[in-house]
Amino acid sequence: MAATEETAAAAATAAATATSTPPTLPRVPIPPRGVDYRGKIVLAPMVRSGELPSRLLALHYGADLVWGPETIDHSLIGATRRINPRTHMIEYTRQPSHSHSRSSAGDGVPESVIYRIDPAREKSKLVFQLGTSDAARAVAAARFVAADVAGIDVNAGCPKPFSVLGGMGAALLRTPDKLAGILEALVREVAPEFGVGISVKIRILDSAAETEALVRRLVATGITGLTVHCRTTLMRPRERALRGQLRMIADVCREAGVACVMNGDVESRDHAEGLVREYGVDGAMIATAAEKNPSCFRAETDGGLATWKEAVERYLRFTMEVENKISNTKFLLSQMIPGRVPQYKDMQRCKSYVELVQMLRHEGMEEMARETDRVLGLGEFGVKPEPKPSNKQKQQQDKQQQEKQGSNKRKREGSVEAEQSTKRVKVAGPTPVAAPASLAV
């Protein structure tokens, strides 16, 4: 009787334990050099806004991971990898396409930097987003960069023409088998060789059923992470994100052991952590808010949002450390400096780093700015354009050109007339003389 009671008690305990302990869910293994997206608040991939100085600023303020801007596979294949001897940054470069034209042949056109990486500060933090529509090209391009990054992410969500052209970006949402094939090739051929994870970024489809079918297809490819932008392809950034499908997507990813990151109208780290709890996702991605002020990655308990002046000063220092193009620097400054302050318009007129630091009154940065200008050929080190002629000078130049053209025309006409005269003389020749009769046959 006692044994029966003990057996019943043990069975009851086992049943209670089984009820209270949730079943262990599968989890796709994270490769040796890869990163787990779970519990991460990350910087979104943004064209122009995702260049190296912006990523460094986001990391400075607490971003757990950073995505670089989408880079097309064609631009990587055939590029050159080098270490900048001044900055020690990794740079992928190639000749600009126009440099192969006759007009630029022999002009010594410098190579363009298509991607730049900080191997120290971005180590184990950088995810490279790839634009592709072909599995073989995707593998070739990914192999070129995989040793320098912590993950390869396929862009299947960007709706802009430069991305969807040729079936890339959001166009891949209409060809799920092609997209899955690209991911499977990367998982099979790149992940084991370089020890990095493969992930994908998508948008929601028009119906929850369509989105679920797509997500189930993608998480079966062996990827470690999936980011979902909670907008459809046709929605614009000004339209509010739609989160109705988010919990379903998170559940499908969790069943497959794939990390799920959400994107769309995430304003700050504290906001992101609240959304993660509310929708059951694993992480969150910040885009527009980080473009305006990357200190949004800093929690309120750690100081919260920095002033635009503080963020701009730190950003400007990063741009000079890595020799960032001034056009890109000014673009980001136009996002970070409020349009209502005088510095916004003053910045637009600046043409060098020296002018920028002087305008913003960043004391102690002028020498660094001058050296950056020297390297990039800006300001006092730039090639001075020839002054434009006045209207009177232009009229005189036009008159001289017309006179020169008229003189050349007369010379050509005179040359033709002389040539024709010579031909006529040769045709006329001497008048033949008749032979004497005695010599006639």
Query: Could you tell me if residue 395 is left (phi over 0), alpha (psi between -120 and 50 degrees) or otherwise beta?
Result: alpha
Separation of alpha carbons 137 and 132, rounded Å: 7
Residue 418 has pLDDT above 70, yes or no: no
For 303-358, what is each residue's pLDDT tens digit? 999 999 999 999 999 999 999 999 999 999 999 999 999 999 999 999 999 999 99
Separation of alpha carbons 71 and 79, rounded Å: 12
Report residue 258's pLDDT band, with 50, 70 and 90 as the boundaries: very high
- Looking at this protein, which amino acid is placed at residue 187? V
In Å, what is the CA distance from 270 to each residue of 139, 298, 300? Answer: 37, 8, 7
Q: Are 117 and 149 in contact (CB under 8 A)?
A: yes
- Residue identified by tokens 């400007």 is 316
Q: Are 29 and 185 in contact (CB under 8 A)?
A: no
Taking the mean position of all CA atoms in its chain, how far away is CA 100?
23
Residues forming a β-bridge with 72: 131
The residue count for the chain: 441
Q: Which of 234-248, 392-406, 425-439 has the lowest mean pLDDT?
A: 425-439
Predicted pLDDT at 11: 53
Separation of alpha carbons 88 and 198, rounded Å: 27
In Å, what is the CA distance from 29 to each residue of 24, 77, 188? Answer: 14, 29, 14
Residue 269 has pLDDT above 90, yes or no: yes
For 393-405, what is each residue's pLDDT tens digit? 777 777 777 777 7
Q: Are 304 and 289 in contact (CB under 8 A)?
A: no
Residue 384 has pLDDT above 80, yes or no: no
Q: 97: Cβ–Cβ under 8 A, 6 or more apart, which residues? A: none
Q: What value does the mean pLDDT take over residues 253-270? A: 98
Q: Are 337 and 312 in contact (CB under 8 A)?
A: yes
Kindly give the pairing relationship between strand 112-117 and strand 225-229: unpaired
Half-sphere exposure of 404 (CA within 13 A, CB side): 6
Report residue 416's pLDDT band, with 50, 70 and 90 as the boundaries: low
- Residue identified by tokens 């008690």 is 9
Residues annotated as part of the active site: 158
Predicted pLDDT at 441: 30
Q: Is 392 exposed, middle or buried (0-12, 13-18, 19+ CB in 10 A)?
A: exposed
Find the distance separating the first CA and the last CA of the chain, reported in whole Å: 160
